[in-house]
Amino acid sequence: MGQRIIGLTGGIATGKSTVAQYLATQHGLPVLDADVYARQAVAPGSAILAAIAQRYGSAILQSDGTLNRTQLGQIIFSDPTEKTWLEQQIHPFVRQRFAEAMAQHALAPVVVQVMPLLFEANLTAQVTEIWVVVCSAATQRQRLMQRNHLSQTAAELRIQNQWPLAQKAARADVVLDNEATLPQLYSQVEAALTAFAPNG
């Protein structure tokens, strides 16, 4: 059996990181995270950050030279053209990082790729199975507002910028329901790991 590459996705604030952390700590699986690579793409001194500053002005940078994510979020989540431009800068960098990391983990039987935009960025071909973490719209909105200190309107904007959860779930090999307790979520993860395992 070939390498299992789990594409872990879902909506914003549905619990992808929780599942990824569990797979890393409980099963020792290599976890490659698109968000981590995206942050590296805009690190101080990077060409991509310079391009962002050139487009939006130096006010998009904080006093320490790092990206003002809140301000950038206000721009891209209210203007699809700007969102597309930004993705064109960052996505190639993220793809390259994934390719490098996969080469390092070529012998790992199972690798987890955490990709919030797995469907939106058309990256389904680089995984062998797709896991989607879902929860109710109300729970998702509440978690996002609490986690990112957003107003309801700002949270809704971010949620609407992704595919609807139902659309993602319909294309998933595994749907993990993160509406209840963590033990219930983890038991679904265990079942999904076993279901696709060799001789499982």
Domains of the chain: 4-30+105-195 (3.40.50.300)
Give the per-residue pLDDT at 197.
58
Residue 179 to residue 161: CA distance in whole angstroms: 22
Give the per-residue pLDDT at 199.
41
Can you point out the beta strands (E) in the chain? 4-10, 31-33, 110-114, 129-134, 174-177
Q: Is 126 helix (H, G, I), strand (E, B) or coil?
A: helix
Length of the chain: 200
User: Which pLDDT band holds residue 196 (cuts at 50, 70, 90)?
Assistant: low
Q: What is the pLDDT of residues 95-140, one digit of tens each?
A: 999 999 999 999 999 999 999 999 988 899 999 999 999 999 999 9
